[in-house]
């Protein structure tokens, strides 16, 4: 096309054209461009074309493109562009991740798709953390959150703690507190450590219809491994709010419990609770300690 | 996490878990994954990290990643994965594209963004065609379509024809037909070739209030370069539907026109038209030839 024809595209006089030019600038974004490109990159990978690195985990070897791995994973980016010895290596072994999981994560890098299942979530999350695939890590957390149940919330809480998944940790913890009457019946509860039990039952947010549940939980936990746990009775009872128990339960059940009778400190807690019940209402309010403070679960409004 | 804890994530009995497993499979697509990845790839490019090819056009050299270019451009894909000599070359020169345009297209590959302007569209479209960036090519066509005007539609039509933009060609052609009374006044029309004028004025879809416009267009076109075009008078008049002209215009204007008077074949067309007017209506319908057929513009319903 010659100059004359080029000029012909403008239907305005030169001055008008100049004024209008800014308005007519059309920056177009093609929304399907990147999706199509990744599809081709994945095809190139499956045909082993233009690959420049082999990723190895266990017995599985996967060819891939450094720039794609680096673009999606800060871990690979640091490896390929930093001062690490792997920078120029043709073959790179990833330890601490099994082959199948690494294969899934490299598939993810090329497809943006990940299948999170009950079976893989617990190996996927740490592997995604290692490769700094934060979206996958979040997908795993979301999946675990959706799976929260009285029988698994303490396990998920511990898992979240180990892998520093702050939000999931809070969610699992809140779930355990809100479903304490069911949670305390499960094996996960009975297998908690002393500190974990103390932390749980000392929470103001524990949702229980009556403090009886907390007392029963302590007795169950001790009895589950009585010999070794007996010595912790006093430490635990410190967090059971005996003064808040119904008078009948205090006299008939707590007082009768051998674990209480045989422990000097526990007897002090019993006496404290009995005294609380024997005082007139106006004087009860003067006894301020953690055991006389009503719990304030999230689902119930606090009545002061 | 040990096996026992892993089992703890499932809140169902083994059988229930198996049944439910299929339902709980959650394939997650992270919609921002590819956009973020391309952003990093573009950053790597600007830092010249992990680049494995240099693209050269005129004096401009651009480092890039083969796999990214290949994923977005079938042209580069063929170059890097086929049997071409460029396959292994570190530096690749692209001819027929200016440096600035190639730079814009490589930016596009990494960003999915392209700015189409009046100034660049005519170099951008052929360059995008060369690199087989079909989305950009389409963006250019869309831009040109939005710019269609009586003063430029014939230029755009010719441009579309040269670059085999079928849809744009049809749109520009229809636009020229629909705006013929203005189009015929412009320089683009006067600069058309004989074949192009014939093609345009022979179209049934030409939108004219009266066939006078077509006659005037032919006379203008001839007079614009009278000496060389005079010989084409008969070829053009073959497509002017003189029988459809008003009786007065035929007698006073056409008959008086020197270009008609001095051409034997044109006189035959004039006689044909006069005869048509002199016949009773019922006999006119018996004269069937292209010049007695009313035009049927798209915007007007055909009345038979």
Whether B304 has a pLDDT exceeding 80, the answer reads: no
Do residues B62 and B90 make contact, with C-beta atoms less than 8 angstroms apart? Answer: no
Do residues A156 and A167 make contact, with C-beta atoms less than 8 angstroms apart? Answer: no
B237-261 pLDDT, tens digit per residue, is: 999 999 999 999 999 999 999 999 9
- Chain B: closest CA distance from residue A164 (Å): 14
Token pair 């203008």 is found at B220
Q: Tell me the average pLDDT of chain A.
A: 90
- Chain A: closest CA distance from residue B73 (Å): 9
Rg (CA), chain A: 32
Could you say which DSSP state residue A188 is in?
H
Cβ-defined contact of B67 to A77 (cutoff 8 Å): no
Cβ-defined contact of B50 to A30 (cutoff 8 Å): no
Band (A9; pLDDT cuts 50, 70, 90): low
Whether A234 has a pLDDT exceeding 50, the answer reads: yes
Residue B194 CA to residue B196 CA, distance in Å, equals 5
Residue numbers in B near A8 (CB within 8 A): 151-152, 154-155, 187-188
CATH class of the structural domain A115-178: alpha beta
Cβ-defined contact of A52 to B52 (cutoff 8 Å): yes
Whether A17 has a pLDDT exceeding 90, the answer reads: no
- Chain A: closest CA distance from residue B34 (Å): 6
Q: Is A194 helix (H, G, I), strand (E, B) or coil?
A: helix
HSE at residue B222, side-chain half, CA atoms within 13 A, is 19
Fold matches, A115-178 and A184-304? no
Cβ-defined contact of A152 to B8 (cutoff 8 Å): yes
Residue numbers in B near A120 (CB within 8 A): none
The structure tokens listed for B51 are: 């680049």
What whole-number percentage of chain A has pLDDT above 70? 89
**pLDDT reported for residue B270:** 95
Residue B81 CA to residue B88 CA, distance in Å, equals 9
**pLDDT reported for residue B263:** 94
Nearest to A50 among B66, B152, B162 (CB): B66
Q: Is A162 helix (H, G, I), strand (E, B) or coil?
A: helix
CA triple B211-B216-B221, angle to 5 deg: 130
Cβ-defined contact of A1 to B35 (cutoff 8 Å): no
Residue B46 CA to residue B64 CA, distance in Å, equals 9
The structure tokens listed for A191 are: 């297998």
**pLDDT reported for residue A286:** 82
- Chain A: closest CA distance from residue B156 (Å): 7
A52 φ, ψ to 5°? -135, 15
Nearest to A72 among B33, B50, B151 (CB): B33
A138-178 pLDDT, tens digit per residue, is: 999 999 999 999 999 999 999 999 999 999 999 999 999 99
> What are the C-alpha distances in Å from B265 to residues A78, B206, B236?
82, 24, 11
CA neighbor of A163 nearest in space, from A136, A197, A186, A192: A136
Cβ-defined contact of A67 to B67 (cutoff 8 Å): yes
Q: Give the mean model confidence (pLDDT) for residues B208-229.
A: 96
Residue A163 CA to residue B167 CA, distance in Å, equals 56
Alpha helices for chain B (secondary structure H): 3-7, 14-24, 33-46, 66-72, 74-81, 99-111, 121-130, 134-146, 153-162, 166-178, 180-183, 187-190, 194-201, 212-224, 226-229, 233-237, 247-249, 258-261, 264-278, 281-284
- Chain A: closest CA distance from residue B18 (Å): 11
The structure tokens listed for B293 are: 């057929």
Residue A243 CA to residue A293 CA, distance in Å, equals 9
Residue B5 neighbours by CB under 8 Å, 6+ apart = A155, A158, A159
Nearest to A71 among B41, B81, B115 (CB): B41
| Residue ranges of domains in chain B | 36-113, 115-178, 184-304
**pLDDT reported for residue B175:** 96
Nearest to A9 among B72, B115, B152 (CB): B152
The distance of Cα B2 from the centroid of its chain, to the nearest Å, equals 65
B64 φ, ψ to 5°? -160, 180
Q: Tell me the average pLDDT of chain B.
A: 90
Residue numbers in A near B8 (CB within 8 A): 151-152, 154-155, 187-188
Residue numbers in B near A50 (CB within 8 A): 66-67, 70, 80-81
ipTM: 0.83
Whether B73 has a pLDDT exceeding 90, the answer reads: yes
Band (A6; pLDDT cuts 50, 70, 90): very low
A291 φ, ψ to 5°? -80, -10
Residue numbers in A near B150 (CB within 8 A): 11
Band (A289; pLDDT cuts 50, 70, 90): confident
Cβ-Cβ contacts under 8 Å between A and B: the total is: 196
Indicate the range of A11-20, A253-262, B250-259, B261-270 predicted with least confidence. A11-20
Residue numbers in A near B69 (CB within 8 A): none
Cβ-defined contact of B44 to A25 (cutoff 8 Å): no
Q: Which residue of B has its CA nearest to A66?
A: B50
Do residues A243 and A274 make contact, with C-beta atoms less than 8 angstroms apart? Answer: no
Residue A132 neighbours by CB under 8 Å, 6+ apart = A73, A74, A75
Nearest to B118 among A21, A27, A122 (CB): A21
Cβ-defined contact of B27 to A117 (cutoff 8 Å): no
Band (A285; pLDDT cuts 50, 70, 90): confident
CATH class of the structural domain A184-304: mainly alpha
Nearest to A116 among B28, B44, B52 (CB): B28
Cβ-defined contact of B152 to A26 (cutoff 8 Å): no
Give the residues across from A55 on adjacent strands. A62, A92
Whether A7 has a pLDDT exceeding 60, the answer reads: no
Residue numbers in A near B123 (CB within 8 A): none
**pLDDT reported for residue A175:** 96
Best residue in A3, A4, A5, A140 to probe B by mutation, most B CBs within 10 Å? A5
Cβ-defined contact of A68 to B37 (cutoff 8 Å): yes
Residue numbers in A near B72 (CB within 8 A): 33, 36-37, 40
Residue B191 CA to residue B225 CA, distance in Å, equals 9
CA neighbor of B70 nearest in space, from A53, A38, A112: A38
**pLDDT reported for residue A303:** 53
B123-175 pLDDT, tens digit per residue, is: 999 999 999 999 999 999 999 999 999 999 999 999 999 999 999 999 999 99
The structure tokens listed for A260 are: 């209480």
Q: Which residue of B has its CA nearest to A42?
A: B71
Q: Which CATH superfamily is domain A36-113 in?
A: Potassium Channel Kv1.1; Chain A (3.30.710.10)
Residue numbers in A near B113 (CB within 8 A): 27-29
Best residue in A23, A24, A113, A118 to probe B by mutation, most B CBs within 10 Å? A118
A91-146 pLDDT, tens digit per residue, is: 999 999 999 999 999 999 999 999 999 999 999 999 999 999 999 999 999 999 99
**pLDDT reported for residue A258:** 93
Could you say which DSSP state residue B297 is in?
-
CA triple A70-A76-A82, angle to 5 deg: 95
Residue numbers in A near B49 (CB within 8 A): 70, 81
Do residues B154 and A5 make contact, with C-beta atoms less than 8 angstroms apart? Answer: no
Q: What pTM did the predictor assign?
A: 0.83
């Amino acid at each position: 096309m010659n100059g004359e024809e080029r000029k012909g595209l403008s239907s305005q006089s030169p001055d008008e054209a100049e004024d209008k030019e800014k308005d007519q600038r059309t920056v177009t974004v093609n929304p399907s461009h990147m999706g199509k490109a990744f599809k081709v990159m994945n095809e190139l990978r499956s045909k082993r074309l233009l690959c420049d690195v082999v990723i190895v985990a266990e017995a599985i070897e996967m060819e891939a493109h450094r720039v794609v791995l680096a673009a999606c994973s800060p871990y690979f980016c640091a490896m390929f562009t930093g001062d690490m010895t792997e920078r120029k290596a043709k073959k790179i072994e990833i330890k601490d991740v099994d082959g199948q999981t690494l294969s899934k994560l490299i598939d993810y890098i090329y497809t943006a798709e990940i299948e999170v299942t009950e079976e893989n979530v617990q190996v996927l999350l740490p592997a995604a953390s290692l490769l700094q695939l934060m979206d996958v890590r979040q997908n795993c957390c979301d999946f675990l959150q959706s799976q929260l149940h009285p029988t698994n919330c303490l396990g998920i809480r511990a898992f979240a703690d180990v892998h520093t998944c702050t939000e999931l940790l809070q969610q699992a913890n809140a779930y355990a507190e809100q479903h304490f009457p069911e949670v305390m019946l499960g094996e996960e509860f009975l297998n908690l450590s002393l500190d974990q039990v103390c932390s749980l039952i000392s929470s103001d947010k524990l949702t229980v219809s009556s403090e009886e549940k907390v007392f029963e939980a302590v007795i169950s936990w001790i009895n589950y491994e009585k010999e070794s746990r007996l010595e912790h009775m006093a430490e635990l009872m410190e967090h059971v709010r005996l003064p808040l128990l119904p008078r009948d339960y205090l006299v008939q059940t707590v007082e009768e419990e051998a674990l209480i009778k045989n422990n000097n400190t526990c007897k002090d807690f019993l006496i404290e609770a009995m005294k609380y019940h024997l005082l007139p209402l106006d004087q009860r309010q003067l006894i301020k300690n953690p055991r006389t403070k009503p719990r304030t679960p999230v689902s119930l409004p606090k009545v002061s």
